[in-house]
Amino acid sequence: MAKVNYTEDNIRSLDWKEHIRMRPGMYIGKLGDGSAADDGIYILIKEVIDNSIDEYVMGHGKNIDLSIEDGRVTIRDYGRGIPLGKVIDCVSKINTGGKYDSKAFKKSVGLNGVGTKAVNALSQYFMVKAIREGKAKVAEFERGDLTKDHRVKKVSEENGTLVTFKPDNEIFKKFRFRPDYIENQLWNYAYLNAGLRINFNGKTLVSKNGLLDLLQRKTSNENLRYPIIHMKGEDLEIALSHGNHYGEQYYSFVNGQNTTQGGTHLNALREAIVKTIQEHFNKSYDRRDILTSIVSAVSIRVEEPVFESQTKTKLGSTDIGPEGPTIRTFVVNFVKEHLDNFLHKNPEVTKSLEKRIKQSERERKEIAGIKKIAREKAKKANLHNKKLRDCRLHFSDSARKVSEENRKATTIFITEGDSASGSITKARDVQTQAVFSLRGKPLNCYGLTKKVVYENEEFNLLQHALNIEDGLDDLRYNRVVIATDADVDGMHIRLLLLTFFLQFFPDLVRNGHLFILDTPLFRVRDKQKTFYCYSDAERLQAIDKLRGKPEITRFKGLGEISPDEFQDFIGEDIRLEPVILNEETDIDDVLSYYMGKNTPKRQEFIIDNLRVEKDELEEEEAEEIVAEANEEVLAEIE
């Protein structure tokens, strides 16, 4: 072994911006390109808005303006404004900020003095402007370096802080902001701060009733088993109901922060609901039957919260504050008092709640008889039929439950047919990418009960491969990607898989794990260059760039793309379209529209979408596809 010298020359000190740029994951989580809600570009927005929200909570400023244009974000609040003499320090010196003064920000989210510094360091352009008492201070930066230190000037603007930044395209490669993700994020701020007005690209978001508004917007009242129960106290607010969906659906917050991974407060809420209901009915109902199909939101305020990561998605604190009770005790006592009182005063709600619990109990017992057989079939099929080609990263885990680190790094492609799955299997990164191969079209499960998941071999094997039988806690892959051909059959399969996930595992979609693989429709090339085009517009642009008459190939199926070519499409430059459930999305309405009765409205939608494709094809080929549409797409999917 070669001798390695270890001297003073090996010791290196990084300044604040160098460390953030070298290890961005420590500060904003994963980078991403904007296709997932927790990608870094959205964390940058959150870090700036958190400061504006804290100003509102302290009683300063009722409006926040946010605009995004060409990848540039501008956020303006009307709080007190950063003290002018500390503007540069607050955005460029680690461990500098006003939130260390607990009197000023007693129950703030951002307590570590890192947030806006990370935004500054990870932006190709960053500008901050503070306005206080008729004076303004402006400072401009590039990738954390101060480029312009403007003098303090007199202004006639309202007090507050304005921040403009553009994420660094050297770090966030080919990033794109998706308005749906941002709007969902902003709505959460509105729900948790009743009366606050957030103006986003010309649209105003405001809530009067907090978490009650949140649940009403996230659900359809027609699909709830009883009206939403809304309980609000000092430092704790809860809203809950039961629906007809499968699984448990929670929206949890700590000091205004959306804790997507829950934590001690959410664990306490689930325990409190189970205990209260068991004691109210004086029956030992199984906790699974009580919590199945629940939809709930909880918001708690804690002094000096401790989170399990810089991105603050999971609460680790056990106490409300230095002198307060434990979070568990606080939540359990609150729910026991308020929920029990509500149930006593509202017998119709109580009756509907118990009816839902008993229905869940019947369904669970009905399925129990076939679960064991289904599991054994799944294990045998995985071993002998090789439907799942797992990634090597999971081989290091001793059990089917994989580590959180390994889960976050992995992707599974769901595809159909030997040619398509073969191409992806040969082209994939075997370390982090898995492939699940379907055999033919899946069953249309619209309107069926969860029993079909165990009785249908394909669904049972898919559920087993993802390990989501008991919820998302044991999900083995962070990204579940539907990879189907760009033709009529491919669209069928995509819709059938979307129906499966929305019907039985909606949390997989709500939590941003489901994606559609975007593969090129055309290859345009000559002897010198090759372009892969994802639309007709890109095809025309490619033709203009090549001299002479280029060779144009239209890919109809994934199997037509060679493994060598496929490596480019599922590697670093992979194009994924997230399946997003926004505020207005009603799952039952969506499923009924796409997978229910073959209404004229649905036929018109499908034909209109195929006409877009028709314009991109030669006339003969287009007529063939529309003929297929009439024959297959518009037929009932049996």
pLDDT, tens digit, 9 for 90 and up, residues 90-134: 998 875 555 545 444 556 555 445 789 999 999 999 999 999 999
Q: Which amino acid is at 24?
A: P
Q: Is the pLDDT of residue 606 over 60?
A: no
- Quick one: which of 276, 282, 206, 185 has its CA closest to 238? 276
Lowest mean pLDDT, pick from 305-319, 498-512, 536-550: 305-319
Interior angle at CA 428, CA 427 and CA 433, nearest 5: 170
Distance between CA 347 and CA 5 in Å, rounded? 77
- To the nearest whole percent, how much of the chain has pLDDT over 70? 83
Distance between CA 338 and CA 232 in Å, rounded? 9
- Predicted pLDDT of residue 549: 86
- Predicted pLDDT of residue 98: 52
321 or 584, which is more confident? 321
Helix, strand, or coil (residue 447): coil
Q: Which residue has the tokens 């568990």?
A: 328
Superfamily of domain 16-205 in CATH is Histidine kinase-like ATPase, C-terminal domain (3.30.565.10)
Can you say how many angstroms the Cα of residue 101 is from the centroid of all Cα atoms in its chain?
A: 33
Distance between CA 388 and CA 385 in Å, rounded? 8
What phi and psi values does residue 46 have, to the nearest 5 degrees? -60, -40
> Is residue 449 very low, low, confident or very high in pLDDT (cuts 50, 70, 90)?
confident
Contact (CB, 8 A) for 105 and 59? no
Q: Are strands 257-258 and 388-389 parallel, antiparallel or unpaired?
A: unpaired
The sign one gets for the Cα dihedral 9, 15, 17, 19 is positive
Contact (CB, 8 A) for 548 and 527? no
Q: How far is CA 191 from CA 205, 245, 383, in A?
A: 9, 23, 48
Lowest mean pLDDT, pick from 27-31, 232-236, 272-276: 27-31
177 or 635, which is more confident? 177
Q: Which residue has the tokens 């401009």?
A: 140
- Predicted pLDDT of residue 635: 46
- Residues 493/494/495/496 CA torsion (nearest 10 deg): 50
Q: Rg of the chain's alpha carbons, rounded to an integer? A: 27
- Predicted pLDDT of residue 309: 67
Q: At what angle do helices 347-384 and 264-281 cross, to 10 degrees?
A: 120
> Is residue 614 very low, low, confident or very high in pLDDT (cuts 50, 70, 90)?
very low
Distance between CA 223 and CA 208 in Å, rounded? 23
pLDDT, one tens digit per residue, over 218-258 is: 886 567 999 999 999 989 999 999 998 888 889 999 988 88
| Cβ neighbour number for residue 134 with a 10 Å cutoff | 11
What phi and psi values does residue 311 have, to the nearest 5 degrees? -80, 0
Q: Is the pLDDT of residue 441 over 50?
A: yes
> Is residue 286 very low, low, confident or very high in pLDDT (cuts 50, 70, 90)?
very high
Q: Which amino acid is at 195?
A: G
Q: Is the pLDDT of residue 337 over 70?
A: yes
Q: What is the CATH number of domain 211-361?
A: 3.30.230.10
pTM of the shown model: 0.76
Contact (CB, 8 A) for 56 and 133? no
Burial (Cβ within 10 Å: 0-12, 13-18, ≥19) of residue 49: buried
Query: What is the mean predicted confidence (pLDDT) over 611-628?
Result: 44
Contact (CB, 8 A) for 231 and 339? yes
Distance between CA 293 and CA 242 in Å, rounded? 5
- Residues 54/58/63/69 CA torsion (nearest 10 deg): -20
> Is residue 316 very low, low, confident or very high in pLDDT (cuts 50, 70, 90)?
confident
Domains 16-205 and 385-519+556-584 share a fold: no
Lowest mean pLDDT, pick from 9-23, 206-220, 359-373: 9-23
Query: What is the mean predicted confidence (pLDDT) over 445-460?
Result: 88
pLDDT, one tens digit per residue, over 477-533 is: 999 999 988 777 888 888 889 989 988 998 898 888 999 998 888 999 998 899 988
> In 258-399, where does DSSP find H-type helix?
264-281, 287-291, 327-345, 347-384
Contact (CB, 8 A) for 515 and 574? no
Cβ neighbours of residue 630 under 8 Å, at least 6 residues apart?
A: none
- Quick one: which of 563, 586, 310 has its CA closest to 433? 563
Q: Which residue has the tokens 């309202």?
A: 158
Q: Which amino acid is at 414?
A: I
Q: Which residue has the tokens 């229905």?
A: 359
> In 178-325, where does DSSP find H-type helix?
179-192, 211-218, 264-281, 287-291
Distance between CA 70 and CA 422 in Å, rounded? 39
- Predicted pLDDT of residue 308: 79
Contact (CB, 8 A) for 165 and 44? yes
DSSP string, 392-406: GGGGGSSSSSPPHHH
- Predicted pLDDT of residue 630: 45
- Predicted pLDDT of residue 299: 95
260 or 273, which is more confident? 273
Query: What is the mean predicted confidence (pLDDT) over 259-284?
Result: 94
Q: Is the pLDDT of residue 64 over 60?
A: yes
Query: What is the mean predicted confidence (pLDDT) over 265-273?
Result: 96
On the CB side of 262, CA atoms within 13 Å amount to 14
Q: Which CATH class is domain 385-519+556-584?
A: alpha beta
Cβ neighbours of residue 629 under 8 Å, at least 6 residues apart?
A: 488, 606, 607, 610
Q: Is the pLDDT of residue 36 over 80?
A: yes
Cβ neighbours of residue 111 under 8 Å, at least 6 residues apart?
A: 99, 100, 105, 304, 305
- Predicted pLDDT of residue 357: 96
Distance between CA 88 and CA 107 in Å, rounded? 25
- Predicted pLDDT of residue 338: 97
- Predicted pLDDT of residue 326: 94
Q: Which amino acid is at 547?
A: R
Q: Which residue has the tokens 């199926």?
A: 557
Residue 246, token pair as written in the block: 């499968």
Q: Which amino acid is at 214?
A: L
- Predicted pLDDT of residue 122: 95
State the chain's mean pLDDT as an integer: 84
Can you say how many angstroms the Cα of residue 385 is from the centroid of all Cα atoms in its chain?
A: 33
Residue spans of beta strands (DSSP E) within 536-632: 551-554, 576-578
Contact (CB, 8 A) for 239 and 229? yes
559 or 150, which is more confident? 150
Lowest mean pLDDT, pick from 41-55, 97-111, 335-349: 97-111
pLDDT, one tens digit per residue, over 366-379 is: 888 788 888 777 77
- Predicted pLDDT of residue 3: 59
Distance between CA 188 and CA 258 in Å, rounded? 8
- Predicted pLDDT of residue 385: 57
Where exactly are the structural domains of the chain?
Answer: 16-205, 211-361, 385-519+556-584, 522-554, 597-638
- Quick one: which of 406, 407, 404, 426 has its CA closest to 415? 426
Q: Is the pLDDT of residue 199 over 80?
A: yes
Q: At what angle do helices 600-614 and 619-628 cross, to 10 degrees?
A: 160
Contact (CB, 8 A) for 495 and 559? no
- Predicted pLDDT of residue 368: 81
| Cβ neighbour number for residue 412 with a 10 Å cutoff | 24
